[in-house]
Structure 1
């Protein structure tokens, strides 16, 4: 399967029709600055039931820009030439823009502030946010996703039933977006591979654009925003960050309590997608215990409950709470409760 970079170059370099810079479609995709004060309003370009479109910019050596849009009734590639320091006209959208830096670097002036994004970064710009793009004289590939307000709202609604930690992050995202009008996402760990896999699927569906594509694209967008909410750094206030950490701890704690007999730290990594040391740091911060100490505490509490509230034998209880070494269980149980399980059970009757 082609990489995302290869696919972007394929779509921008191999399209059926090459359009010159003066073509109307080209001016729609890239409008060089013609006024320091005027502002363009870019309206949603698609009709019918399409709620998502994608524009790819492929900057080559010497200030050449190749660009295309999916879906489009015409397979095309726009050609334009630009000088170092050229910018697009100041503009806003009546839709949201989510961009991914496939290769190189890319800069924008957003609300008067110059921001540089690097390979693997994403950014989300709210509708009506004034910005302009710096046109490059060096190789870079940028993907822009245009999201109608309808599909963005649908994606957020789909996530209402998600875990509270996810829901919190998404509400924080929406709050920050409304305050700053843009969000800058930086990848954590190796998430870029997963994100690019989703973007490849999305780009191929937008290129296919058959009757089922819009449903598949919506599902891919939900996956993309789920990754953004959990595997990317984005700006939160210190209060929001503290609240997020508590929600994260509660989610992890609930998971451990539901799987205490068999849980491993690798299970947490696979479920929550953080590095192992993150769980130790978070649990230590909230409980004063290490991960293994916290699991042990939950197992012993479960064993104590079974001693007092069930007729299970002590051997069955030991096995149920996840211990195979009876001697070790007796040691840690006695250290915690000051008595063996049988003595503690008799004292309770």
Structure 2
């Protein structure tokens, strides 16, 4: 299978090298090598981000920047995003969505994925089908993992023909529901393999796509029909269809986790960049779940953090103020008193004296 995806292996080496280089000029040379590679050329030929013309700007938080397919079928391999320092490539880790249906198959190893804010672990032989506009992101992909993405436009499938067989009723729902329900649902199907019955057909599909001999498109379409039949006949499956409001409520939990973990320096634009929503949309999700704007909510989180640091008694008040990103000491004192009815100094003294501050 590896020989059909040699370009992805080469770009993995370049990306890994990029994370080991500190010199700016050397990094720029590696970046140019990445963006001019055959892998990136094929990626740009088949997919693009609406409103974005360079892959390096992928996921800048604009909700209109949906990943779109320029062809009816595209096969790709997941790039390793875990490097020797243990860090995960932030580009691979971002939430994103597509205007096409994506089949994700675990040829080898394991694949961790977050769909609609829910963590899934897919093992060898498993497959997941994501409908259009489903927010999702990759977890860590290691060198030992081999993940295949089949990107397919809805019109590629004969919906009327599939609808004649009740076996495919859930897949037909994926093909039709966003047209009939005004794009309000976020749907996907996870298939669990008791025995991997897809490896040979996926390998044959990759071979045809790589060699592109006459008639390969028809063969691939036949293989896709075989994939659907195998999945719905032999695999256990979980079909999920959720309203966007529920999805965003769950994603808020991830947003909240990030805000608390990076409370000192997180920004609305940083959250937008990570979660693939516009800054205004981030604000709406937060307000929907807390009743407060981003600015008001992060202020409360920082005051809670200040209180924790005062209780720990390891930093001075000035050090706490600086750590939390406040440049105006008077302003910090004002908002702290407004929340706790005590100055930070008195609050800390009462903690030390063992008195209840409430």
Structure number with greater Rg is: 1
- TM score, norm. by length of structure 1: 0.48
